[in-house]
Amino acid sequence: AQTVTQSQPEMSVQEAETVTLSCTYDTSESNYYLFWYKQPPSRQMILVIRQEAYKQQNATENRFSVNFQKAAKSFSLKISDSQLGDTAMYFCASTGTASKLTFGTGTRLQVTL
Amino acid sequence: GAVVSQHPSRVICKSGTSVKIECRSLDFQATTMFWYRQFPKQSLMLMATSNEGSKATYEQGVEKDKFLINHASLTLSTLTVTSAHPEDSSFYICSARDGQGGSEQYFGPGTRLTVT
């Protein structure tokens, strides 16, 4: 079984600043993937970034990067140069060999002027 | 990029009736599709996993006779909510996994179901 925990229900950041969203997980699988998804007000789920657990190098996608600490089972998301369009719910998720996604409870991010 | 559509985007039905939601992968073959339910301001809860040509696997606590899932082709899965009740009102989201074996799931835009 997998569990994903997001301990920050809400976060706020000013435009152009940097914010880090926290996520911890637990899994009994040796091969798994971790994801951050964004859900804007439209409610369309959008993949932000993906990390394969067997890769030590942290994934990056433009302004988005992760800090993957495998031993600590931590997978935080850093958003640099925050933009108003980054305002959304952010879900951390994990999947194992069964391909079923387990989601955290989400962090609501508000980007302000 | 991989696109998944859902139809309808919104539906209102009366108590006791059934409603069908379609999920289609538009530009790839999806051997596996997933159905989620999301209540307001909450996370996505997996309801069931459907594999093309076989019976769906339901998560614990999900009534398989109430939420009928059919995955008849590699591009289409349907969720039918039977004998709907107001407590079935929710946002239903499907996702599809590329049959090429990727780890990523591609999500549909969701369907808002309101049962009156």
Mutate to test the interface with A, among B32, B107, B113 (most CBs of A within 10 A): B107
**CA–CA dist A58, A74 (Å, integer):** 12
**CA–CA dist B71, B55 (Å, integer):** 8
Confidence class for position A2, pLDDT limits 50, 70, 90: confident
Q: Which residues of B touch A35 (CB under 8 A)?
A: 104
Confidence class for position B53, pLDDT limits 50, 70, 90: confident
The answer to whether B109 contacts A91, with C-beta atoms less than 8 Å apart, is no
Confidence class for position A108, pLDDT limits 50, 70, 90: very high
User: Which pLDDT value is given to residue A83?
Assistant: 97
The answer to whether B103 contacts A47, with C-beta atoms less than 8 Å apart, is no
User: Which pLDDT value is given to residue A96?
Assistant: 81
Q: Which residues of A touch B104 (CB under 8 A)?
A: 35, 47, 50
Residue A28 reports pLDDT greater than 90:
no
The answer to whether A42 contacts B104, with C-beta atoms less than 8 Å apart, is no
User: Which pLDDT value is given to residue B101?
Assistant: 60
Residue B102 reports pLDDT greater than 80:
no
Q: Mean pLDDT across the stretch B17-43? A: 93
Q: Which residue has the tokens 């989620």?
A: B36
Q: Which residue has the tokens 């079935």?
A: B88
**CA–CA dist A86, A62 (Å, integer):** 13
**CA–CA dist A13, A75 (Å, integer):** 20
Q: Mean pLDDT across the stretch B49-63? A: 91
Tokens for B57, please give them: 């696997």
On whether the CB atoms of residues A38 and A106 are closer than 8 A, the answer is no
Q: Is B110 left (phi over 0), alpha (psi -120 to 50) or beta?
A: left
Please tell me what DSSP assigns to residue A57: S
**CA–CA dist A65, A50 (Å, integer):** 10
Q: Which residues of B touch A42 (CB under 8 A)?
A: 109
CA distance B51 to chain A (A): 12
